[in-house]
Structure 1
Amino acid sequence: MDKVEVVVAHAERATLRVGDVFLKVDADRARIDAEVEAMSLAPVPTPAVLWRKPPVLALAAVPGTTLGRLGGRATGSAAGWAAAGAAIRTLHDAPPPPRTGRAGRSVAALGAELDAECARLVADGVLPPDLVARNRRVADAALRPWTPAFTHGDLQIAHVFLDGDEVTGVIDWSEAGRGDALYDLATFTLGHEDHLDDVLAGYGDDVDLDVIHAWWSARSLLAVRWLVEHGFDPFAPGCEVDVLRSRM
């Protein structure tokens, strides 16, 4: 009998692996609905849905390996990173789904969320005031009008699989929907700035780098306290706090 591997688990959801099957347990049925819908519409390889019985979604494993993870050593060739960039561009160029995703927060809502989170980070002593203030100023560049695109919403490098230089699968679509394309690009290159040029070689160079940098700051500021509260370590080398320090 295959052993049960806990891939990730926190108060909102959990993912288990049994052999070549992933079981996603999510108390929010709308999130499972959104994931299944997004995978059915996405023009890139996605996991096959084996069965669905809320709150559980069973998915087949996708072949290949990832380019790494945040806080770890990145792997893969420049061509592999470029292939990932091309796949992301294919997604962004597709007709956006009707649902607004994680990357689709309005400018006003994002600004208010950032201001509130920065205030809490300082008040609770989680991060130094100067580090928070500097990154909040950098994050301002993300607060601008954007054209809705088909976004993944949580496009960490651990969610994109390749076999050689070919993308074989993109997983974890629960945050997908209409949103800002540059949010996806920033999420994918977060903590791996040295591969941004490779990604853009496949994606295309019509990208405002200041907005990418802004999303690195914004995403990290918004994530630090949630990660701590859910048992993760944003202070680990190469993770969110180091991303914020790099903006100094």
Structure 2
Amino acid sequence: MDEVNVIVAHHERATLRVGDVFLKIDADAARTDVEVEAMALAPIPTPEVLWRKPPVLAIAAVPGTALGRLGEPSTSSPAAWAAAGAALRTLHDAPLPPRPGRAGRDLEELTAELDSECEWLVANDVLPTDLITRNREVADAALRPWTAAFTHGDLQIAHVFVDGDEITGIIDWSEAGQGDALYDIATLTLGHQEHLDDLLAGYGSDVDLEVIRAWGSLRSLLGVRWLVEHGFDPSAPGCEVDVLKSRM
């Protein structure tokens, strides 16, 4: 029998790998609904859904290797990054899915959450106040109206798989929906800003770099408490705290 490998596990969801099958167990069936729907609609390579029996979703492993890992240098070629950019452009130009996603949250709601998280970070002495203040200022550029696109919503570098210079699949679509395309770009290059030019070579250069930078700060500010409370380390090399420090 194949070994059971725990890919990620916390109180909201867990992902296990058994051979070439991933089993995703989610306490919120709505997230799985979004994932299955988005993978069916996305015009780019996605995992094959093998079966679903709530709360479990079984999907086939995607061939290839991750574009990189947060906190580690990416060994993927500039051409692979450009291919990721081209795939992302194809997704963003596709017909809109039926519902808003994580990258398309209400601006007033998002602003209120951001301010609340910054207050928590200061009150609990998690990060230096000047670091939080500076990143809150940078994040403000992302808090503006945008033209809705088909967004992945959680496009971490480990969610994009490549074989050589080819994209073989993009995984983990539970946050997908209508949203700001620049949020996806910021998420994919989080901690790997040095590859932004390679990504944009495939995506196209008609983007606002200030807004991409702002989304990086915003996403990091919102992520620190969640990571701490779920047993992850946001201060690991190249992760959220390093991103925040890079804005100083």
Verify same fold: TM over 0.5.
yes
The equivalent of 1:211 in structure 2 is 211
Deviation at 1:98, TM superposition (A): 0.8
Q: Specify the code of the residue in structure 2 equivalent to 1:26.
A: D
Amino acid at match of 2:244: L
Counterpart in the other structure of 1:65: 65
What's the secondary structure of 2:161's corresponding residue?
strand
CA distance in 2, matches of 1:130, 1:81: 34
* Counterpart code for 1:205: S
Give 3-state SS (helix, strand or coil) of 1:198's partner. helix
Matches for 1:4-43 after TM superposition, within 5 Å: 4-43=4-43
Could you tell me the TM-score, scaled by structure 2's length? 0.99
Match of 2:228, SS state, is helix
TM-score normalised over the length of structure 1: 0.99
Structure 1 stretches of 5 or more lacking a match? none
Gapped regions of structure 2 (runs ≥ 5): none
Q: How many angstroms does 1:108 deviate by?
A: 1.2
Q: Which residue is equivalent to 1:85?
A: 85
Counterpart secondary structure, 2:63: coil
Letter in 2 for 1:103: A
How many equivalent pairs are there? 248
Indicate the SS of the match to 1:174.
coil
Paired-residue identity, %: 78
Match for 2:45: what amino acid?
Answer: P
1:155 and 1:237 map into 2 onto residues whose CA distance is 19
Give, as a single letter, the amino acid of the residue that structure 1 aligns with 2:36: V
Q: Partner residue of 1:159? A: 159
Partners of 1:196 and 1:72 in 2: how far apart? 16
Instruction: Specify the SS of the correspondent of 1:202.
Output: helix
**Which one-letter code corresponds to 1:237 in the other structure?**
P
Could you tell me which residue of structure 2 aligns to residue 2 of structure 1? 2
Task: Report the Cα distance in structure 2 between the residues aligned to 1:208 and 1:108, rounded to whole angstroms.
Answer: 21
* Alignment match, 1:189: 189
Alpha carbon RMSD of aligned pairs, Å? Answer: 0.5
Q: How far does the alpha carbon of each residue in 1:78-112 deviate from its partner, in whole angstroms, 9 at most, with x for none?
A: 00000000000000000110111000112211111
Q: Distance in 1 between matches of 2:187 and 2:52?
A: 28
- Runs (4+) of structure 1 exceeding 4 A deviation are none
